[in-house]
Amino acid sequence: LVLMGYANPMTIRGPEWFAAECARAGVDGVICVDIPPEEDPELGPALRSAGIALIRLATPTTDAKRLPTVLQDTSGFLYYVSVAGITGKQQAALGSIEDAVARLKSATELPVAVGFGVRTPDQASAIAKVADGVVVGSALVEMVAEWGPDAAGPVREATRALADAVHSAKEIGQQ
């Protein structure tokens, strides 16, 4: 289980409290989208002390000079944000994703997961062929907003279709 969010709710009661609550709840990793590595003197160490992965973001604009800073305290996996823009609204070309994943994998042994703009099983399958993981967020959040209390069934069906597509792509890639 990976939580993704913003610094304020994660640090308002103190990073140690947040990390302890995450550990108690069984959280495996945390993505804090608005604290760059250079400005993280407390949250990262608190999460590490609690045994929780700190997952950092790399983007199309993360250059070779900045990448080592991003990777320095990243654990669990590296999340590649495939487009510069608003989450869930665009999708990068597969060729650019493939190039970026290759570049990132040459700099780290961590798995590289790709997200932003991934909405369909076909998109997830294509990305799974070049990345270690696929992140689908906005599409599922939108389903919950649309279906409200009746969202469990549609979300389960959507995640099953996404997972089947990713698993099929991985199986084909291993043959």
**Per-residue confidence (pLDDT) for residue 95, from 0 to 100:** 80
pLDDT tens string 43-100: 999 999 999 999 999 999 999 999 999 999 999 999 999 987 665 556 667 788 999 9
- pLDDT above 70: residue 106: yes
Whether 75 contacts 55, CB under 8 Å: yes
The mean pLDDT value of the chain amounts to 92
Whether 30 contacts 3, CB under 8 Å: yes
CA 87/CA 75 separation, integer angstroms: 22
- pLDDT above 80: residue 30: yes
The letter for the amino acid at 113 is: A
pTM (2 d.p.): 0.89
Strand partners, 134: 114
- pLDDT above 70: residue 42: yes
What phi and psi, each to the nearest 5 degrees, are found at residue 31? -115, 115
| CB burial string 50-82: b at 16+ within 10 A, e below | bebbbbbbbbbebeeeebeebbeebbbbbbbbb
